[in-house]
Chains A and B, each alone.
Chain A
Amino acid sequence: MATQKIFIYAINGTGMGHLNRTLVLARAARAFRSDIEIVFAVASPMFWLVDKAGFPVVKVMDRSHAFGSQVCSIDRKKYLDAVFEPMLLSFQPDAFVVDLTIDTRLFKTAKRSGARVAAIVRKPKPQTLLELALDAGSRQVDRFLLPHPVEEFSVKDLPLNLRGRGRQLGPVVKAIQEERVAAMTQKYRQGSRPLVVVAVGGGGYEESRGTVAVVEHAARETPEMDWVIVHGPYLSDQIDQNPQSNVTRLRFEHELIELCVAADVVVCNAGYNTIRELESAGTPAIVIPIRGTGRDDQQERAQLFEQAGRGLVCALDSQQLLRHLHSILHERRVVRQPPRLGVPLADLGREFLATLD
């Protein structure tokens, strides 16, 4: 039976990846079939992004919150099930899509409501992949959806016991709105001055702060350039603007991918969404991978990005950042690629729905 109702649960990591990725998929599914019903449960305080996109959304408690694990620890095993069961039984979805939590009890409840269970698995570190294979909850998953090109992470890379249920989804990335690129250019570019955009995802990682600190130092050394730092909505600090400086600070930019297209260089970490968006945007990038935290391998992703000739990997070092910046702007060590415009979202939607059927 064709999937008609989808319930998506985007957990809240420290970044924005889960929410962004699932939102792209939901938009794509709707672009392919306008009659499809999709609801979201998200833990992120940015849940209004879903509302704005026109999908019903319920905000649930955030286990990544500073106190989240504490308040949920009273009976953590029952928490998800207790909160989700009423929604699942009320909505009765055909598919329950998680990005990503593995929870036997929750999945059993989803199945009781008549849903198939699909888990979106972006390429994890080897240890995390092993844990996924050994987790009893994985037995309840009907589909493991891989949001990667085959050459990066394919069904064959899944452990044997998951492989038969693996499906290749292909890259999941926002579509670039060409007309908004012009708007971003007009908003942030000043004449011929180079524009450097800094994006550190959600901003919640401690290491993202390190990236911002390095960038700030580099910005002070380059008064001839304009910098736009997008700190991320999860940065707990206040953001101070100094109109006299060459740095514009934003907590969040809804049209970040268009802003990246408008930039000469992007400085970023190597999160899944950031790298996917840069591949689309075509803008040369200096990538400072987060090494210590996260379940995915940013180091590997950054190296692949560099090998593809799209950017340069950089240590957490402002002097190296300045050298890379110089080599991109003046030596053209990395050449801008034309942005991928007009990628039909409906194609991704068709693929997504096909994996769920």
Chain B
Amino acid sequence: MTLLICTASARADTPDGALLGELLHAIDARYPFAFSIVVTPEPPASIERAPHRDWVTLPSNQQGVWRDAAVCAGRMLSAYARQLSPVATLLVGQGAVPLRQLCGAEAQVGFGTEVIIESTAEDALQRLYQALDRSLPAVFVISNATARGDVAQLVEKHRIQSAISLYWTGAFSSRCSEVVEQVLTVTTGMVKVQIRVRDLLHNPAVVARGLIRLSHHSKGRLQLSFAAEDGAALRTGKTMSHIFFSLQGKRRP
């Protein structure tokens, strides 16, 4: 799950920056598998590289080199929103609202649930939790490009019980979903899952059934292959390579 977090300032000595710090801390604790992108024209003095977070900055008038810096920033923010398809956009502080408005004309989609946070951290967190918890149980995200190691170990490590969910992207617009029937086998180096895939945005009917198999690629990457039962609607070639892949499920007791 990706969160897009916009703030006018991430500097710790500003009110927005201080609130952002608290929020990030809380998100880390409550949603350890969320991936957050913080967007700000004013970054903190230094940024630690964290596996669950990246930062981007926007051009600003203060830099003095951009023509129509605000428009440029808005278009960039809009581009990020389109690319990331976040489950939620968090606007931290009043200063972030104009940021969001900047891209209103550029893009009407892709921002996910929008949560404006301008109060105390405690209030903000409650609103954030309410917004996110409605639709998001524990989510475990791995990437077919970045995951390393044995698949079975991975499943065991994250104590995934049974459910697996895929976010279908690329050819299928921004947000699709599918239902996982059951995990059939978990063996060393391979997980087999029976799935039904539904395109929630465009076609609520089941568009494909089949077995999805996660195996360990020879180059150490996770490989995903799909064998459709009816072979009809899913294009397994290029489309599969664009899968935004996540394992989702309840933690084992």
* Chain A residues in the interface with B (C-beta under 8 A): 37, 39, 45, 47-48, 56-62, 65-75, 78-79, 82-83, 85-87, 89-92, 233-234, 236
- Contact B57 A71, beta carbon cutoff 8 Å: no
Closest to A206 in B: B148
- Shortest distance from the beta carbon of B209 to any chain A beta carbon, whole Å: 25
- Contact A74 B66, beta carbon cutoff 8 Å: no
- Contact B145 A90, beta carbon cutoff 8 Å: no
- Contact A65 B143, beta carbon cutoff 8 Å: no
Closest to B44 in A: A48
List, sorted by A's number, 25 A–B pairs whose CB atoms are closer than 8 Å. Answer: A37-B65, A39-B65, A45-B48, A56-B64, A58-B57, A59-B56, A59-B57, A61-B56, A61-B80, A67-B52, A69-B145, A70-B143, A70-B145, A71-B83, A74-B244, A75-B82, A78-B83, A82-B83, A83-B76, A83-B80, A86-B73, A90-B66, A90-B67, A91-B65, A91-B67
Residues of A near B244 (CB, < 8 A) are 70, 73-74
- Contact A90 B43, beta carbon cutoff 8 Å: no
Q: Which of A45, A78, A86, A91 has the most CB of B within 10 A?
A: A86
- Shortest distance from the beta carbon of B137 to any chain A beta carbon, whole Å: 20
In the bound complex, what is the Cα–Cα distance between A94 and B51 (angstroms)? Answer: 36
Closest to B46 in A: A48
Task: Tell me, yes or no, whether B29 is within 8 Å of chain A by CB.
Answer: no
- Contact A61 B146, beta carbon cutoff 8 Å: no
Closest to A90 in B: B72
- Contact A66 B56, beta carbon cutoff 8 Å: no
- Contact A86 B54, beta carbon cutoff 8 Å: no
In the bound complex, what is the Cα–Cα distance between A66 and B141 (angstroms)? Answer: 12
Q: B46-90: contact bitstring with A at CB < 8 Å (1 yes, 0 no)?
A: 111101101111110001111111011101100110111100000
Residues of A near B47 (CB, < 8 A) are 45, 47-48, 59
- Contact A67 B54, beta carbon cutoff 8 Å: yes
Closest to A72 in B: B83
Residues of A near B223 (CB, < 8 A) are none
- Shortest distance from the beta carbon of A127 to any chain B beta carbon, whole Å: 15
Q: A61-B37, A82-B79 are in contact. Are A56 and B48 (CB under 8 A)?
A: no
Closest to B64 in A: A56
- Shortest distance from the beta carbon of A293 to any chain B beta carbon, whole Å: 11
In the bound complex, what is the Cα–Cα distance between A299 and B39 (angstroms)? Answer: 40
Task: Tell me, yes or no, whether B25 is within 8 Å of chain A by CB.
Answer: no
B window 23-41: CB within 8 A of A = 35, 37
Q: Which of B2, B56, B141 has the most CB of A within 10 A?
A: B56
- Contact A86 B76, beta carbon cutoff 8 Å: yes
- Contact A74 B169, beta carbon cutoff 8 Å: yes
Task: Tell me, yes or no, whether B217 is within 8 Å of chain A by CB.
Answer: no
Residues of A near B72 (CB, < 8 A) are 86-87, 89-90
- Contact A59 B43, beta carbon cutoff 8 Å: yes
Residues of B near A91 (CB, < 8 A) are 65-67
Residues of B near A236 (CB, < 8 A) are 49, 51
Closest to A89 in B: B72
Residues of A near B245 (CB, < 8 A) are 70
Residues of B near A234 (CB, < 8 A) are 49
In the bound complex, what is the Cα–Cα distance between A267 and B84 (angstroms)? Answer: 41
- Contact B56 A60, beta carbon cutoff 8 Å: yes
Residues of B near A73 (CB, < 8 A) are 143, 145, 169, 242, 244
- Contact A86 B79, beta carbon cutoff 8 Å: yes
Task: Tell me, yes or no, whether B170 is within 8 Å of chain A by CB.
Answer: yes
| Contacting residue for A87 out of B48, B52, B59, B80, CB 8 A | B59
Q: Which of B57, B58, B67 has the most CB of A within 10 A?
A: B57
- Shortest distance from the beta carbon of B25 to any chain A beta carbon, whole Å: 17
Q: A61-B37, A66-B146, A90-B68 are in contact. Are A71 and B2 (CB under 8 A)?
A: yes
- Shortest distance from the beta carbon of A180 to any chain B beta carbon, whole Å: 21
